[in-house]
Amino acid sequence: MAEITCARCGRRAEPLDSPPLVGARGQVVQQQICPACWQEWVEQSKNIINHYGIEVADPRQRQQLYAVMAEFLSIKF
């Protein structure tokens, strides 16, 4: 697969091996975010989920987490 320019850090890198999320969001992340920045988000998301007690099974709370993720990664869905 061709290299991407990461929307968050601006570095050229190989894309993620597969979309990390289901659907269009996962495609956007795979096409625009490098593996290093994705891993940073994974770690940050754990902190956010635990700190705010987010229930990812709740669609409204999951949407809020997606909004924070988009801001953190500098992407739009």
What domains lie within the chain, and their CATH numbers? 4-73 (1.10.3880.10)
pLDDT of residue 16: 97
Residue 62 confidence (pLDDT) above 70? yes
> Which class for 42: exposed (0-12), middle (13-18), buried (19 or more C-beta within 10 A)?
exposed
What residues have CB less than 8 Å from 29, skipping those under 6 apart? Answer: 16, 19, 20, 21, 38, 73, 75
Please state, in angstroms and rounded to a whole number, the distance separating the CA atoms of residues 65 and 18: 21
> With pLDDT > 90 as the criterion, what percentage of the chain qualifies?
97
Round the average pLDDT of the chain to a whole number and report it: 96
pTM of the model: 0.93
